[in-house]
Amino acid sequence: MAIYVYCTSCFTSNDLKASKCSKCGTAFGRSKKYRVSVQIKGKRPTRVVENLTIAREVEAAFKGDLVRDEFDIADHRVKGKPPTLANLWDKYLPWAREHKKTWKCDYYNYVTHLEPRFGGKELGSVTPFDIERLKIDMKKGINKQGRPFTQATIKHQLVLLKRLYNLAKRWGIYILENPLDQVEMPKLDNQKTEFFSDDEADRLIKVLDSWPCQETVSFIRFAMFTGVRRGELFKLTWDDIDFERSAITLRTPKGGKTTTIPISDIAVSVLRSINATSQYVFPGKEGKQRTDFKKPWQKIRKAAGLPADFRFCGLRHNFATQLISNNVDLSMVQGLLTHKDSRTTQRYAHFLPGALQKAAQKSGELLVPKHGQVLKIVK
């Protein structure tokens, strides 16, 4: 039975007093992880946890299980007891692979944050207070980049844990109350909506007009003129283009349902300017499906003098904002953006700087009596 400092860079165990990894030399900062290991009958089950306090709790639990001879080394489960979160996860992961595009994110979050703390606990033993402790510890902790965990990251853990409990109840594995029902989710303020000023739009267009890589230019122009998500552009094939109807088909978009949307003449002209060398409209290396556009966008953004935090999805935001600011019906914008819920589109229902001032000026003109009588100003 032992507790070690765990190196997340080379996955080796080190003495508790070690300040750096004995194998790769990585320095251990404040956010150390610990490996609890027990050996019996030639087997060595281990668990990696977030802090030393939890490591000692896990070590004590291991010892208790071994003393009672209830620990099954073959599958790391406790015999004759209600299921643990780890047992539930074994059922959830195959299900998630079939039903969730983002199952890899769930896997990372579970292994990194939930398993070390709750994996060995019975489902009914996890309390709302335990989850509040998780929130507090994560607020005090730092990620691999040395920065504090964001509220969004903390919320991801709670959402995943709540989903696990809900599915356990649906599958008949668990019948008690979901402890997450008594836990307040972190409040997020991440509804960032970006759009171009006239000067920024002009600078971007000038850069695109002179940029040597036409594949990059076409990708950005088409995103600007359609508002289509980056990931959906990656999947777009020439079979999805209907030049006669000026429309494109988006296969399994973020909303989940394949849909066809119209595009403008200028967007069609962008497509016609592309020299097709692959089944994909915007292919990656060797004609395969593109998987990333980070570096090209960073270069364009810098050359155009756009804000350093202006994201590629800002092109989509700008598309929506421009339409709404020019009196395009919100339901029409919802259709073009392929939003399932109109409340998602509502985030764009604001006006560009200056639009409200023009509206106020127009209201003054409309409210002046038609016969020319000057309104008396009440002081």
Tell me what pLDDT residue 62 has: 66
Distance (Å) of CA 135 to CA 53, 150, 243, 365: 16, 11, 52, 54
Tell me what pLDDT residue 363 has: 57
214, two tokens: 């036409």
Rounded CA separation 371/80 (Å)? 90
Tell me what pLDDT residue 181 has: 92
* SS3 of residue 121 by DSSP: coil
Rounded CA separation 337/331 (Å)? 10
Backbone φ and ψ of 46, nearest 5°: -135, 165
- Classified by CATH at the fold level, domain 198-356 comes out as hpI Integrase; Chain A (1.10.443)
Tell me what pLDDT residue 46 has: 73
The label of the residue with tokens 């996955």 reads: 11
* 45 half-sphere exposure, CB direction, 13 A CA radius: 18
Q: Enumerate residue ranges in the chain where pLDDT < 70.
A: 1, 39-45, 61-81, 188-194, 255-256, 344, 346-379
**DSSP E strand boundaries for the chain:** 2-6, 13-14, 33-37, 46-49, 71-72, 77-78, 241-242, 247-250, 259-262
Tell me what pLDDT residue 75 has: 39
Q: How many CB atoms lie within 10 A of CB 363?
A: 9
Planar angle of CA 154, 311, 352, nearest 5 degrees: 105
Rounded CA separation 273/293 (Å)? 20
* SS3 of residue 4 by DSSP: strand
Is residue 237 within 8 Å of residue 279, measured between CB atoms? yes
Which H helix or E strand runs over 131?
helix 128-140
Please check whether the two domains, 82-190 and 198-356, share a CATH topology: no
Q: What is the DSSP-derived secondary structure letter of residue 125?
A: G
Tell me what pLDDT residue 216 has: 94
**What is the secondary structure of 193-218 as a DSSP string?**
-----HHHHHHHHHHHHH-S-HHHHH
Planar angle of CA 307, 309, 315, nearest 5 degrees: 80
- Classified by CATH at the fold level, domain 82-190 comes out as DNA polymerase; domain 1 (1.10.150)
Is residue 45 within 8 Å of residue 21, measured between CB atoms? no
Planar angle of CA 23, 29, 30, nearest 5 degrees: 140
154, two tokens: 């903390």
Contacts of 166 by beta carbon, 8 Å cutoff, 6+ apart: 178
Q: How many CB atoms lie within 10 A of CB 206?
A: 12
Domain boundaries of the chain, sorted by first residue? 1-76, 82-190, 198-356
Size of the chain in residues: 379
Tell me what pLDDT residue 105 has: 92
Q: How many CB atoms lie within 10 A of CB 106?
A: 21
Is residue 316 within 8 Å of residue 232, measured between CB atoms? no
* SS3 of residue 274 by DSSP: coil
